[in-house]
Chain A
Amino acid sequence: MNDLTPTREERIANLKGMGTSRKRVEDVRFTQGKGNYVDDIKLQGMLFGDFVRSPYAHARVKSINADAARALPGVVAVLTAADLAPLNLHWMPTLAGDKQMVLADGKVLFQGQEVAFVVATDRYIAADAIELVEVDYEELPVVVDPFAAMEPDAPVLREDLNGIMSGAHGPRRHHNHIFLWETGDKAATEEALGAAEVVAEEMVYYHRTHPCPLETCGCVASMDKVNGKLTVWGTFQAPHVVRTVASLLSGIEEHNIRVVSPDIGGGFGNKVGVYPGYVCSIVASIVTGKPVKWVEDRMDNLMATAFARDYWMKGRISATKEGKITALRCHVTADHGAFDACADPTKFPAGFFHICTGSYDIPVAYVGVDGVYTNKAPGGVAYRCSFRVTEAAYFIERMIEVLAIELGMDAAELRRINFIRKEQFPYQSALGWEYDSGDYHTAWDKALAAVDYKGLREEQAQRIADFKAGRTRKLLGIGLTHFTEIVGAGPVKNCDILGMGMFDSCEIRIHPTGSAIARLGTISQGQGHATTFAQIIASEIGLSADSITVEEGDTDTAPYGLGTYGSRSTPVAGAATALCGRKIRAKAQMIAAWLLEVHEGDLEWDVDRFQVKGAPERFKTMKEIAYAAYNQAIPGIEPGLEAVSYYDPPNMTYPFGAYIAVMEIDVDTGEHEVRQFYALDDCGTRINPMVIEGQVHGGATEGYAIAMGQEIAYDEIGNVKTGTLMDFFLPTAWETPHYTTDHTETPSPHHPIGAKGVGESPNVGSVPAFSNAVHDAFRAFGLRQSHMPHDHWRIWKIARDLGLHG
């Protein structure tokens, strides 16, 4: 030993493993504009596809005349449903067990629906050709309201389902009905509600919005007719699933399809599903023998690819006079648009909405969800959340506030007396989930202390007095939220997508000189997987994270996985990664034993090496072991050092958090200012605190947008009113609030490293925090419920309706 020998602490630091705020390795290229996105891909002879889209929300397509378009120089093909029908590709299955038109088959059902696909030698010619395609429409009555859609005499939207009164999720009771999904004990819930001392009832609407990733959806399809191989580069959050679906649809054997997700500029659920653009590009490439690119523009993206939310949640919650909750009931009218294209695990048509008992020990509950067709775009994706968890969290956090009003109680105290207690975990919820772990009271107390909750309430009381005395026109709102997420889908026994179990995977190869490549079944869209997964591996196998390349998204090289959405990467693929690292370590131990001429059992792992128990000066580092694995003949051990793991999680993980928003509200203009936003997250073991903080900032900013202005709005004849970023609110740095982040750490007991996932928590938790702040500002004046988004005029309307404008 000499002074140059690193200490144990230095060896740990050198790994840049778990718990390190390691800088994101991806950012070097992203901040220099050197990312490689789908639209950066340029292939020899590549053609460009673009859609003729319906200007109407509901119309019969009487005829399509593409002669003039085909005659335009540079136009190679114009595809319509009639061209796709012989291939049986004019419709495609959705992830939700429904089917969706690829191109308009006799009618259109939403504005922006794909009617014809024009393929040309450049995108300018394609855009010109679109204008030359003559479509003769006959307008039909439009239904944009899901309640009107369920009226007996409502227009029939899905004529293809005429007379078919059984859907993928059970009976349909109306021609515009998709499914009724129920869980919980209905009779016992009704009984408890009927017997309760206090009952609060409210309709809570979580409006339709859109993930709106900065990069829109797109793909490049290239059919090589010589070797019969199809390659598709695309903005896919689940490349392996796309490969399997493409194989099932096209009949091309799966080994002849390669799907690649290059750099992706944000997904947020928008890039999980399969879109007509992918199918048409593939068909066009097969037909023309040339690569075909299709990339949406912003208006296409907002109008036609997957929306999120649009849940009408009618709740009843009951409690004792002291505030102990006794029952919860919820009925949801879910507006799915024209096709049921939700991206949920197949057995869960309402996703995990039944996490809606939230953080509370509610003895009995019932949920029923009616899915309904309307003349709106399909989707219903999990916009930075795990399958309807945002809707559930918003619902329960609003119901708690309404119950607090009914009880005349402080909403923080009402939460506290109803939290599931630490000793109750693992906790069996009334709606069937087993919460793995939690410590809600500790988090809550920390959060309330951090913002000086008592002081805020005193300030608010003074503000109300000042307002009533005419000394101010601004109100103060304190928005509380304690959310519990359910992420990490999921156990194969009950979670699958189109029959494929929702496991995930990792493969690690150690190179002879002690660096490594890891490949996963997930795909980063900005989450920083290349940074954080390398940290997990570093901690597990003792090589520096800087020496580990993480590669995802190429189905020819990556092990099969279900992709990245629903905060599942860390809970599922992260677990696979840790276990894969442990397989490497197990083999390394055998090699080290041979090298050190001791029995395996005489060795112990220490940071980056195996050392002889009781003689730590005798050791072999992982780097030395790696070299030996390739250059020494070791009896009974295969050369090489690599492993692959597939992980089927035993349970979901249940991250939670306490968020508090403090907001100033201008009663006269409806404007607001976020004075403070405090976010405490408990995501279990923290892999990279800086990445977590970034995730919280990003998700809370999306939540801020959703709560305060972001929506996909339709007029009464189904025109999209928010088709550009002028009207669709995407906050810039100017609007974005300042955030204070904090944490507690309650590891998941069933996850190999105790991590739970965090990417989506801030979207789930911040929306009710912002919305509750708006509601709270007006609570003293009699407000119970006002629907989001809380843009200027809607807040102004609250004040006007409460008589605050004099």
Chain B
Amino acid sequence: MIPSAFEYHRPGDLASAIGLLTDHGDEARVIAGGHSLIPMMKLRMAAVGHLVDLQAVAELKGITVEGGRVTIGAMVTQAELIGHEGLARAVPLLREAALQIADPQVRYVGTVGGNVANGDPGNDMPGLMQCLGASFTLVGPGGTREVAARGFYHGLYATERADDEILTRITLPVAAGGYAYEKQKRKIGDYATAAAAVLLTKSGGKVASASIATTNLSDVPVWSEAAAAALVGSDCGAAAVKAAVAAMLGDIDPQKDNRGPIEFKRHVAGVILGRAIARAWARA
């Protein structure tokens, strides 16, 4: 559990950070909270020649809620996210989910940007951001671009972000309506056995709009358009929930691990989504 040697860099601004990535190419990795990267380095599963620490880059901090849009700096910690009252009013789903990430110690250091950028299907924020229709800002030597969360994840640890780009902020619309993040885990600090994020709006007793995403049930977060479609227009009753669960099960591809075999995960994925829909509907 001892990493191999690396050079440590602590740039003071974004341009310097990108400069370091450009200079060192494949050898360099940025580190945010480090909860994923440091264990990988200690296990010597990740060899990093140059570690570029983003803690001192002020541009990556801060949360703003303005004009129906929310902007979250990549280096905002989960604790800061949880503690932001304006954000909790604008997008209560974020606080509900963030409180289910690990424990307070982890959340004081773990960042939203690191959580979404790492491409680990066990992380909670990626599915959540897909559910919320967020977009990520990527800054690299070639400039700045926006990528939708729903198009960001390609596979296990494989994302749209190029090696010399830094994910700098997350932008999302204020989320009205009912919401829920339901997560089954073995213990504090564990990744989800199954988790589901649900956003619903209600009109005339019917589901007016829906967005559904899952965590750790495939090698990428799964935003299930079909599951949401199964709810829209329905009374969110048992038949509609059953149809949404069936649709979600068509989109996920869980793998066997110490949490259990595939059939167990598929079953609890359905149970968890059903509970998330019920809670969101009750709040809609």
Q: Which residues of A contact B (CB under 8 A)?
A: 123-124, 127-128, 131, 297-299, 668-671, 709, 713, 721-722, 726-727, 729, 731-732, 734-735, 791-793, 796-797, 800, 805
Contacts and interface: CB of A to CB of B under 8 A. Distances in A.
Contacts of B5: 124, 128
Interface in B248-273: 258-261, 264, 267-268, 271-272
Contacts of B186: 709, 729, 791-792
A671 B184 contact: yes
A805 B271 CA distance: 11
Contacts of B258: 713, 721-722, 727
Contacts of B1: 297-299
B44 to A, nearest CB: 7
A669 B272 contact: yes
Nearest to A796: B264
A116 to B, nearest CB: 17
Contacts of B272: 669
Contacts of B190: 726
Given A668-B268, A734-B187, A796 B260 contact: yes
Interface in B17-73: 44
**Which 7 interchain pairs have the tightest Cβ spacing?**
A793-B260, A127-B2, A297-B1, A734-B188, A793-B264, A668-B271, A727-B258
A792 B193 contact: yes
A735 B267 contact: no
Given A127-B2, A797-B264, A792 B259 contact: yes
Instruction: Summarize A's interface: helix, strand, loop or mixed.
Output: loop
Most A C-beta atoms less than 10 A away, residue of B187, B189, B267, B271: B187
Nearest to A128: B4
B103 interface: yes
A677 to B, nearest CB: 18
B268 A732 contact: no
Nearest to B187: A735
Contacts of B261: 793
A127 B1 CA distance: 8
Contacts of B259: 792-793
Contacts of A721: 258
Contacts, number: 64
Contact of A131 (B44, B103, B191): B44
A127 B42 CA distance: 10
A124 B264 contact: no
B241 to A, nearest CB: 14
B189 A726 contact: yes
Contacts of A299: 1
A731 B187 contact: yes
Contacts of A124: 2, 5
B180 to A, nearest CB: 16
A792 to B, nearest CB: 6
Contacts of B187: 709, 729, 731-732, 734-735
B interface residue count range (under 10 / 10 to 19 / 20 to 34 / 35 or more): 20 to 34
B260 A792 contact: yes
Contacts of B193: 792
B77 to A, nearest CB: 20
Given A127-B4, A732-B103, 5 more contacts: A131-B44, A668-B271, A791-B186, A792-B186, A793-B261
18 contacts: A127-B2, A128-B5, A299-B1, A668-B268, A669-B184, A670-B264, A709-B186, A722-B258, A727-B258, A732-B103, A734-B103, A734-B187, A791-B260, A792-B184, A793-B260, A796-B260, A796-B264, A796-B268
A729 B267 CA distance: 23
Nearest to A669: B268
Contacts of A800: 267
A721 B260 CA distance: 12
Nearest to B265: A793
Contacts of A796: 260, 264, 267-268
A668 B272 CA distance: 10
A735 B188 contact: yes
Nearest to B268: A669
Nearest to B122: A726
Contact of B267 (A131, A727, A805): A805
Interface string B170-210: 00000000000000101111110100000000000000000
Contacts of A727: 258
Contacts of B191: 726
A72 to B, nearest CB: 12
Nearest to B264: A793
A51 to B, nearest CB: 13
Nearest to A122: B2
Interface string B85-100: 0000000000000000
A668 B184 CA distance: 11
A298 B4 CA distance: 18
Contacts of B268: 668-670, 792, 796
A732 B188 contact: yes
Contacts of B4: 127-128, 131
A582 B125 CA distance: 66
Nearest to B44: A131
A722 B186 CA distance: 14
Nearest to B194: A669
Contacts of B267: 668, 796, 800, 805
B215 to A, nearest CB: 15
A60 to B, nearest CB: 25
Interface in B207-264: 258-261, 264
A797 B191 CA distance: 21
A805 B267 CA distance: 9
Contacts of B271: 668-669
Nearest to A713: B258
A164 B2 CA distance: 42
A722 B259 CA distance: 11
A621 B272 CA distance: 70
A63 to B, nearest CB: 23
Given A131-B44, A298-B1, A792-B259, A732 B264 contact: no
B8 to A, nearest CB: 14
A459 to B, nearest CB: 24
Contacts of A797: 264
B2 A123 contact: yes
Most B C-beta atoms less than 10 A away, residue of A734, A796, A797: A796
A131 B258 CA distance: 28
Nearest to A124: B2
Contacts of A722: 258
A300 to B, nearest CB: 9
Contacts of A805: 267
Nearest to A298: B1
Contacts of B2: 123-124, 127, 297
Nearest to A733: B188
A501 B146 CA distance: 75
A796 B1 CA distance: 35
Interface string B1-12: 110110000000
Contacts of A131: 4, 44
Contacts of B264: 670, 792-793, 796-797
A729 B258 CA distance: 11
B110 to A, nearest CB: 15
Nearest to B259: A793
A727 B185 CA distance: 12
Contacts of B189: 726, 732
B149 to A, nearest CB: 26
Contacts of A729: 186-187
Contacts of A671: 184
A727 B184 CA distance: 15
B79 to A, nearest CB: 17
A271 B190 CA distance: 28
B238 to A, nearest CB: 12
A721 B191 CA distance: 16
Most A C-beta atoms less than 10 A away, residue of B44, B186, B261: B186
A729 B186 CA distance: 9
Contacts of A297: 1-2
A792 B187 CA distance: 11
